[in-house]
Amino acid sequence: MSLIKINNENGISEITIDRPEALNAMNQDVVAEFSSVLQAALSDKETGIIIITGAGDKAFIAGADIKAMQKMTAEEALIYGKAGQKLTMLIESSPKPVIAAVNGFALGGGCEIAMACHIRIASENASFGQPEVKLGLLPGWGGTQRLPKIIGVGRANELITTGKIINAEEALRIGLANIISSQDELLPTARKMAGTILRNGPRAIASSLHCIKEGLSVPIKEGMKIEVQEFSKLFHHDEQMEGLTAFIEKRPANFRD
């Protein structure tokens, strides 16, 4: 039975982790299928943007499968951790924007997957946290690396070392969430934002995401070099000419046809 559902419509691929009875917890099978489905969406020429969410209204992803982890050896934990890191890197490195529609718990690996997404929209009942230390563990799918970059070192130190779980309002306040929506409007809100993004140039979007990601790990002068090179590369393609011409002609640009 499939653990992941995917729906493709209007240039949007919606990926749903479908284990509501387990609060969409991530075991090795879910990680493997998720990675495969995500790679297919990235390769699909009709897909311009990806939305990730969880089945049901209780959890986006409540974290790793604790019962499965309890039985792991150190060697098996290393394989599992690397698989989760590969998945989050695949999300983070996507040239197509990835929106997390966070419905309910985004804990542990679920929070790490949400953080790997480019934009996070939270339902009013969403909660975020890295409670691994309460289990004698640490975030292993990039939490110690991404959280400080998103909310700052001091707050990341606090959340990770206390294992504190925060609500949607607090996540919005500290920059972990971009928008809060009601549960009923969560996916419509994500789709509306996706529609706005899809009206813009796909190469320009991919290049912008590349510059942002690469710029986070280098000095600003190096980041500026990356930016100006990507800026100039866009002039090799028809996309920029369509955008500039449409502006001058006072009409909407048609980038994707």
Total residue count of the chain as it appears in this document: 257
Angle, nearest 10°, between helix axes 74-92 and 109-116? 30
Tell the residue number behind the tokens 């099978």, with chain if given.
29
CA distances from 19 to 22, 30, 59, 88, 201 (A): 5, 9, 10, 19, 35
Please, are residues 59 and 22 in contact by the beta-carbon 8 Å criterion? no
DSSP per residue over 3-17, as a string? SEEEEEETTEEEEEE
User: Where is 50: in which H helix or E strand?
Assistant: strand 49-54
Residue 64 phi, psi (nearest 5): -75, 165
Whether 112 is catalytic: yes
Number of C-beta neighbours around residue 145 at 10 A: 15
Q: Which of 33, 46, 132, 227 is catalytic?
A: 132
Whether 169 is catalytic: no
Which residues is 248 bridged to in the sheet? none
Q: Which of 9, 21, 112, 169 is catalytic?
A: 112
| Catalytic residue numbers, as ranges | 112, 132
